[in-house]
């Protein structure tokens, strides 16, 4: 399981000119799921993300979590995080989980974030999405379990 976290002041997802999700301050989470990922990994990653201290405190130090600031999450499934670019010029995605495994695990992960107390919106699995964000900092974190 791979995740790219972007600390944002706002983020949104639009599909076919229809906005399907929008958050204020918080995290945009791009999630890639591999064939060996499971609910235990999803729960572990959700806990880690919800409690990761990457927001500034009163002294400007990264000492606060998204929960501490009352932030939100916007989760976007992104199989392209598993791109293999070692050969040729076209990425291969053979290391990504097939949709029948990835879709329910992505839904489970979103619910695991909510169970941590993190209000979470999602994009639409498998859809062509336009993701807009204002990266705050900028702060971008790569996580892998």
pLDDT confidence of residue 127: 96
80 in catalytic set: yes
Q: Single out the catalytic residue among 19, 39, 80, 130.
A: 80
Domain boundaries, the chain: 2-144
With cut-offs at 50, 70 and 90, classify the pLDDT of residue 105.
Answer: very high
CA dihedral 110, 115, 119, 125 (to 10 degrees): 10
pLDDT confidence of residue 3: 98
pLDDT confidence of residue 131: 98
55 in catalytic set: no
pLDDT confidence of residue 141: 98
Residue 113 in tokens: 């974030």
Q: Single out the catalytic residue among 79, 82, 109, 121.
A: 79
78 in catalytic set: yes
CA–CA dist 85, 95 (Å, integer): 11
Query: pTM for the full model?
Result: 0.96
pLDDT confidence of residue 9: 98
pLDDT confidence of residue 140: 97
Per-residue pLDDT reduced to its tens digit, 30-89: 999 999 999 999 999 999 999 999 999 999 999 999 999 999 999 999 999 999 999 999
Q: Concatenated DSSP letters for 46-76? A: HHHHHH---EE-TTS-EEE-TTTTT-EEEEE
Q: Single out the catalytic residue among 78, 116, 120, 122.
A: 78
Is-contact 116 67, C-beta < 8 A? yes
Beta-bridged to residue 7, according to DSSP, are 27
pLDDT confidence of residue 112: 98
CA nearest to 27, candidates 3, 43, 61: 3
| 2-144 classified as CATH 3.40.50.300 | no
């Amino acid at each position: 399981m791979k995740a790219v976290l972007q600390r944002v002041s706002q983020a949104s997802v639009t599909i076919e000119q229809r906005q399907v999700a929008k958050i204020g301050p918080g995290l945009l989470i791009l999630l890639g799921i591999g064939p060996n990922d499971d609910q235990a990994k999803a729960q572990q990653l959700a806990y880690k993300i919800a409690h990761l201290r990457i927001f500034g405190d009163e002294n400007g130090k990264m000492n606060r979590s998204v929960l501490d600031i009352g932030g939100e999450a916007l989760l976007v499934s992104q199989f392209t995080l598993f791109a293999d670019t070692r050969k040729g010029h076209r990425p291969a995605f053979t290391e990504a989980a097939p949709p029948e495994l990835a879709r329910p695990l992505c839904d489970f992960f979103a619910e695991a974030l909510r169970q941590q107390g993190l209000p979470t919106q999602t994009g639409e699995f498998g859809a062509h999405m336009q993701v807009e964000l204002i990266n705050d900092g900028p702060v971008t974190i790569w996580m892998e379990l």
